[in-house]
């Protein structure tokens, strides 16, 4: 996902304010004109100096320069790196939304990472290397979800800490878009348990110049253990067809993850002969969507597909859909893995019944072999069901630990190479490898539905 997800992921647009007719300028005398001319010269000189300074010191990616949107160069001068206090101690950090309604999902991911570390007593290389773990929150209370400025701050913090050799994150693809180029210049590897936007890794699957724009150092430092949306969106289209859908209205949250997966779903639906009645990007801060839902209802769809995450007001969309009379037995609603969490059920209440969601893998209770053992150990340890991405966070941590075990020293570049070279990894998700882009070889996904106030597994899904 998700995931996801997230999110001011579009390049920021700036427009001039229009203030109506201009006021008549006041008259000025010659002295005032001379002073104004002098001031303009000073300002012009200062502007030139400022411009030259910015040429010499490129601006670091920030909330308003989001790691360089496609078509721009995200390279920036990295912060100074501290010398590790102990050369035999390395650090793994996670960057996840620990504030807002994503907390439930994120906390189970942190639990999964902690499980993996506990299995080796947070040590590697026969006890010679101590592994520390630190949780970075990429969300803020003000945003209620991941925050671009927080992501950039966290990325620079990880780079500056010489002990950090690996990052596990993000949950939202838009956040990864900002942090990847910052970490890339410092050779810090990132392993994502949840990002699914194809443009982060796959040429020709995103916007112009993606994914190379995210790798200013010229090497890859980003990988993910979850299949990307070019697969999940297509699987969702096929699943919708098998459910008897003939007419669909598509919504998205206008964010990197949501819009991207909706694009793939739309293309697949059209290819399969499903009539697309319309497509619209929503305002995720709207108080209600009743007018939109009445408009959609008049078109008599079989399905509304929502590309987005729970935190993009998905609960309100579902409520208003049902409130205008589009009942679960008449009109289905489906979304991607960005909505497959308890938070959606909490947000939509009784109206969540019958909501469909795809997931880029199998839910925890459907894992087999090593995965089934992990699932039972998680429930025993935490006395709770893990959210879907807990297993993926656990797997990400195991990959990082495995790479540290191969290198046995604080060497960011060597650990990065070891992660990216992962092959035939026998983990909780099965046996898989990273390809040259850092994508997993796993392609099995799942269809799920809310029944009795809980997410239920329907079937495994594969791209036809």
What pLDDT score does 6 carry? 40
Could you give the 3-state DSSP secondary structure of residue 165?
strand
Instruction: Output phi, psi for 339, to 5 deg.
Output: -110, -5
What pLDDT score does 76 carry? 52
| Per-residue pLDDT in tens (0 to 9) along the chain, 464 residues | 444 444 333 333 323 223 333 333 333 443 344 344 443 433 333 333 333 333 333 333 333 333 333 333 444 566 788 887 788 999 999 999 999 988 999 999 999 999 999 999 999 999 999 999 999 999 999 998 999 999 999 999 999 999 999 999 999 999 999 999 999 999 999 999 999 999 999 999 988 999 999 999 999 999 999 999 899 999 999 999 999 999 999 999 999 899 999 999 999 999 999 999 999 999 999 999 999 999 999 999 999 999 999 999 999 999 999 999 999 999 999 999 999 999 999 999 999 999 999 998 999 999 999 999 999 999 999 999 999 899 999 999 999 999 999 999 999 999 999 999 999 999 999 999 999 999 999 999 999 999 999 999 999 998 76
Nearest one of 410, 416, 439, 462 to 86, comparing CA atoms: 410
User: Which tokens in the block code for residue 382?
Assistant: 């935490």
Q: Give kind and range of the element (H or E) at residue 394.
A: helix 390-407
* Structural contact between residues 10 and 346, judged by C-beta atoms closer than 8 angstroms: no
Residues in the chain: 464
What pLDDT score does 436 carry? 96
User: Which tokens in the block code for residue 193?
Assistant: 């348990």
Cα 251 from chain centroid (whole Å): 18
What pLDDT score does 175 carry? 96
* Structural contact between residues 463 and 233, judged by C-beta atoms closer than 8 angstroms: no
* DSSP symbol at 222: E
Q: What angle do CA 176, 178, 183 make, to 5 degrees?
A: 80
* Structural contact between residues 11 and 259, judged by C-beta atoms closer than 8 angstroms: no
Distance in angstroms (rounded) separating the CA atoms of residues 393 and 212: 25
Who's near 183: CB < 8 A, 6+ residues apart?
155, 158, 159, 167, 189, 190, 221, 222
Distance in angstroms (rounded) separating the CA atoms of residues 8 and 258: 12
Q: Tell me which residue has tokens 């319309």.
A: 278
What pLDDT score does 338 carry? 92
Read off the pTM: 0.77
Instruction: Output phi, psi for 242, to 5 deg.
Output: -70, -20
What pLDDT score does 86 carry? 86
User: Which tokens in the block code for residue 334?
Assistant: 């489906």
Q: Tell me which residue has tokens 């253990």.
A: 225
**Other Cβ atoms closer than 10 A to 103:** 16
Distance in angstroms (rounded) separating the CA atoms of residues 188 and 293: 45
What pLDDT score does 39 carry? 37
């Amino acid at each position: 996902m998700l995931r996801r997800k997230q999110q001011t992921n579009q390049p920021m647009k700036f427009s001039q304010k229009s203030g109506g007719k201009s006021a008549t300028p006041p008259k000025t005398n010659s002295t005032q004109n001379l002073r104004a001319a002098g001031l303009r010269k000073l300002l012009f000189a200062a502007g030139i100096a400022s411009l030259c300074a910015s040429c010499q010191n490129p601006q670091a990616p920030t909330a308003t320069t989001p790691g360089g949107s496609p078509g721009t160069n995200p390279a920036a001068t990295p912060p100074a790196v501290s010398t590790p206090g102990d050369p035999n101690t390395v650090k793994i950090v996670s960057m996840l939304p620990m504030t807002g309604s994503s907390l439930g999902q994120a906390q189970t991911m942190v639990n999964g990472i902690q499980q993996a570390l506990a299995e080796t007593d947070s040590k590697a290389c026969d006890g010679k290397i101590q592994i520390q773990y630190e949780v970075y929150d990429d969300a803020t209370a003000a945003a209620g979800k991941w925050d671009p400025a927080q992501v950039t701050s966290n990325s620079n913090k990880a780079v500056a800490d010489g002990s950090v050799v690996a990052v596990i994150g993000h949950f939202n693809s838009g956040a990864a878009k900002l942090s990847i180029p910052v970490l890339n210049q410092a050779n810090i590897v990132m392993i994502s348990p949840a990002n699914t936007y194809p443009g982060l890794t796959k040429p020709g699957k995103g916007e112009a110049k993606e994914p190379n724009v995210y790798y200013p150092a010229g090497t890859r430092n980003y990988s993910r253990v979850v299949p990307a949306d070019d697969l999940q969106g297509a699987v969702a289209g096929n699943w919708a067809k098998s459910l008897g859908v003939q007419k669909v209205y598509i919504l998205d949250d206008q964010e990197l993850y949501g819009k991207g997966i909706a694009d793939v779903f739309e293309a697949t639906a059209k290819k399969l002969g499903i009539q697309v009645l319309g497509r619209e990007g929503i305002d995720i801060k709207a108080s209600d969507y009743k007018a939109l839902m009445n408009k959609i209802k008049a078109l008599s769809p079989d399905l509304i597909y929502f590309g987005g995450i729970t935190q993009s007001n998905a609960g309100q969309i579902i409520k208003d859909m049902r409130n205008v009379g589009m009942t679960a037995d008449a009109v289905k609603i489906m979304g991607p893995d960005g909505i497959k969490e308890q938070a959606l059920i909490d947000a939509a209440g009784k109206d969540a019944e019958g909501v469909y969601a795809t997931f880029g893998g199998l839910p925890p209770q459907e894992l087999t072999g090593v995965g089934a053992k992990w699932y039972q150990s998680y429930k025993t340890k935490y006395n709770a069901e893990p959210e879907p991405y807990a297993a993926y966070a656990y797997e990400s941590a195991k990959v990082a630990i495995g790479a540290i075990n191969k290198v046995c020293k604080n060497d960011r570049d060597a650990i990065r190479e070891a992660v990216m070279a992962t092959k035939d990894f026998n983990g909780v998700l099965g046996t898989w490898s990273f390809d040259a882009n850092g994508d997993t070889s796993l392609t099995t996904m799942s269809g799920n539905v809310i029944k009795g106030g809980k997410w239920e597994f329907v079937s495994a899904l594969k791209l036809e």
